[in-house]
Amino acid sequence: MRNYKLTIAYDGSRYQGWQRQATTDNTIQYIMEWSLGRIVGYRVQVDGSGRTDSGVHARGQVASVKLSGLYDPAELKAALNRYLPEDIRVLKVELVKNNFHARKSAKGKKYEYYIDCREKPDVFSRRYCYHYPEKLDIEAMRDAVKYLIGVKNFASFTDNKETNDTVRRIYNIKIVRSGEKVRITYYGSGFLYHMVRILTGTLIEIGTGRRDASKLPVVIAAEDRSLAGFLAPARGLFLRKVYY
């Protein structure tokens, strides 16, 4: 068996997230497996670096798959892109060592969240930004970052009540304004279900003065989802890069 690493971009607008589901075929993972199966002639399992929610996009999702034959990476990439719909694209195919696994080998991830603060949403980016027509205090939001950096229990920032492993490391959060648009970039060891979107909602509440940044340590210590901010919409979120 040969192991292949796939770097994938997709517009998640019309999909039910990355992960294969029993109730629908409309997921990125299923479509990737179906497309690869058409090429190699048998069912395959494609493992992603992690799940992206319904409506979330990716510029640099990574997946791994083991195939029985030896394929030229460039030819495999071209063949895959012929089968895939226009809103899913394989950017790169690499032959890697057999012990590589897209999720288990990952060391960190980078997510980007886009906010449009103008009165009316931008015509061309409205599907890829959260339209929030209020002025945000960027400096207050940046001041909040210091409370989120490091190894912490982020139980207050996830909607998954089943997991007991809620400790994650955030390396950095960068907040940049460009005109009336704001980009928040998250760098971390990994992220919990809805974690980036809840962090974004919390930072937006700080930016509008509805929440005091200095109270974040209390929110973190409480391990109580109800004390954190709202869940920002999926359409503004992109998985930008996976680090190995």
For the chain, the 3-state helix, strand and coil shares in percent, each to the nearest 5, are 25, 30, 45
Q: Is 87 a catalytic residue?
A: no
According to DSSP, the β-strands at 108-116 and 130-131 are parallel
**H or E element at residue 61:** strand 57-67
Contact 105, 60 (CB under 8 A): no
| Residue 147 near residue 217, CB atoms below 8 Å | yes
Tell me the backbone φ, ψ of residue 234, rounded to 5 degrees: -65, -30
> Of 11, 25, 47, 53, which residue is the catalytic one?
53
Residue 158: enclosing H or E segment and its boundaries? Answer: none
Which residues are tagged catalytic?
Answer: 53
